[in-house]
Amino acid sequence: MTNPIYPGVGVCCFVLNKEGKLLLGQRVQIEGFGNGCWQLPGGKIDWMETATEGVIRETKEETGLQIRFPEFLGYSNDFFPKANKHYVTLYFATSEFSGIAEVQEANKCSKWDWFEWDTLPQNIFCDWKHLLPQVKHFAKKNLNTKSS
Percentages helix, strand, coil for the chain, rounded to the nearest 5? 25, 40, 40
- Best CA proximity match to 12, nearest among 1, 22, 4: 22
- Spans of all domains in the chain: 8-143
Q: Exposed, middle or buried, 132 (CB in 10 Å: 0-12/13-18/19+)? A: middle
Q: What is the pLDDT of residue 67?
A: 98
Residues 6 or more apart whose CB falls under 8 angstroms from that of 32 comprise 82, 83
DSSP, collapsed to helix, strand or coil, labels residue 34 as: coil
Per-position pLDDT tens, the chain of length 148: 555 688 999 999 999 999 999 999 998 866 666 778 899 999 999 999 999 999 999 999 999 999 999 999 999 998 888 888 899 999 999 999 999 999 999 998 999 999 998 899 988 887 788 898 999 899 999 987 554 4
Task: Give residue 20's region: left, alpha or beta (phi > 0; psi -120 to 50).
Answer: left
**CATH says 8-143 is which class?**
alpha beta
- Best CA proximity match to 95, nearest among 41, 40, 139: 139
Kindly report, residue by residue over 88-127, the tens digit of the pLDDT: 999 999 999 999 999 999 998 999 999 998 899 988 887 7
